């Protein structure tokens, strides 16, 4: 069935460094790839998304890249700050439906 | 809009009891999703509705779980009878249109003793 794999499961970086989280998906019909940030005890919130008609999208310090041939996409955070510390989830749509399959999450810690 | 509203925020119950979780989606959204989050399994999609109709319930663990959406502004997720392994945070989320942004509620933390 549909599957989204996410790596790494934990990531620790120094403030100011970059962080990269990678995901792969199995459904070749997937066409929508959002990223969610979940702070401790809070709800997941969308931070950036990309659709299959583009290869890269950037919003200030965060960017997402998509390689449809290889079926993987990545989140890049530059100039990390302590407030970036959270769990990040990637997700992929399943074919033509609105169903999103989430990756297992990456716990990012940014040390001052 | 107040966002997706879930109740209760916390529920502690004993094994065998019935649990009902409630959700009010954002007004105008036409898709509603129930997710379960645990440390071991992450965010799992249980069921989703489009225009109040259940589209995919393949994630519902077993017959003890049921979900309804009687109208566009209300949905319930029921567990009967509950078991300790059902302990988790249950999120409701809603969206509008094809692959619209998913807005999550604050979640219902369920503990089954």
pLDDT, tens digit, 9 for 90 and up, residues B4-18: 999 999 999 999 999
Residue of A nearest to B31 (CA): A98
Contact between chains at B42 and A89 (C-beta distance less than 8 A):
yes
B16: closest CA among B86, B76, B77?
Answer: B86
Residue B79 has a pLDDT of 97
- φ and ψ at residue B49, rounded to 5 degrees: -115, 145
Q: Residues A73-92: what's their mean pLDDT? A: 97
- Radius of gyration in angstroms for the set of CA atoms belonging to chain B, rounded to a whole number: 13
Q: Is B18 on the interface with A (CB under 8 A)?
A: no
CA A67/CA A71 separation, integer angstroms: 6
**How open is the CA angle B55-B32-A63, to the nearest 5 degrees?**
105
CA B88/CA B44 separation, integer angstroms: 11
Q: Is B101 on the interface with A (CB under 8 A)?
A: yes
C-beta separation of B86 from B14 below 8 A: no
Q: Is B113 on the interface with A (CB under 8 A)?
A: no
Residue A99 has a pLDDT of 85
Query: A98: which chain B residues are within 8 Å (Cβ-Cβ)?
Result: 31, 48, 50, 55, 95, 98-100
Residue B2 has a pLDDT of 81
Strands (E) across chain A are located at 4-7, 10-14, 19-25, 32-38, 45-51, 56-59, 62-67, 72-77, 86-93, 100-102, 106-111
CA A108/CA A6 separation, integer angstroms: 13
Q: What would the pLDDT profile of A8-48 be if each residue is shown by its tens digit?
A: 999 999 999 999 999 999 988 898 999 999 999 999 999 99
């Amino acid at each position: 069935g549909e599957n989204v794999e996410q790596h790494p499961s934990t990531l620790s970086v120094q403030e100011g460094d970059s962080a990269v989280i990678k995901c792969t998906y199995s459904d070749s019909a997937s066409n929508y790839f959002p990223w969610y940030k979940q702070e401790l005890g809070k709800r997941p919130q969308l931070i950036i998304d990309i659709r299959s008609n583009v290869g890269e999208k950037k919003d200030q310090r965060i960017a997402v890249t998509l390689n449809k041939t290889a079926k993987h996409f990545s989140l890049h955070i530059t100039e990390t700050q302590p407030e970036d510390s959270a769990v990040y989830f990637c997700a992929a749509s399943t074919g033509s439906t609105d169903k999103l399959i989430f990756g297992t999450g990456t716990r990012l810690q940014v040390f001052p | 809009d107040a966002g997706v509203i879930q109740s209760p925020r916390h529920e502690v119950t004993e094994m065998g009891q019935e649990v009902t979780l409630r959700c009010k989606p954002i007004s105008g959204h036409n898709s509603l999703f129930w997710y379960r989050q645990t440390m071991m399994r992450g965010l799992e999609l249980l069921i989703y509705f489009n225009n109040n109709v259940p589209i995919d319930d393949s994630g519902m663990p077993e017959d003890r779980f049921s979900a309804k959406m009687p109208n566009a502004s209300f949905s319930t997720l029921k567990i009967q009878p509950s078991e300790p392994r059902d302990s988790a945070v249950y999120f409701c989320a809603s969206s509008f249109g094809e692959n619209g942004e998913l807005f999550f509620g604050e979640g219902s933390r369920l503990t089954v003793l």
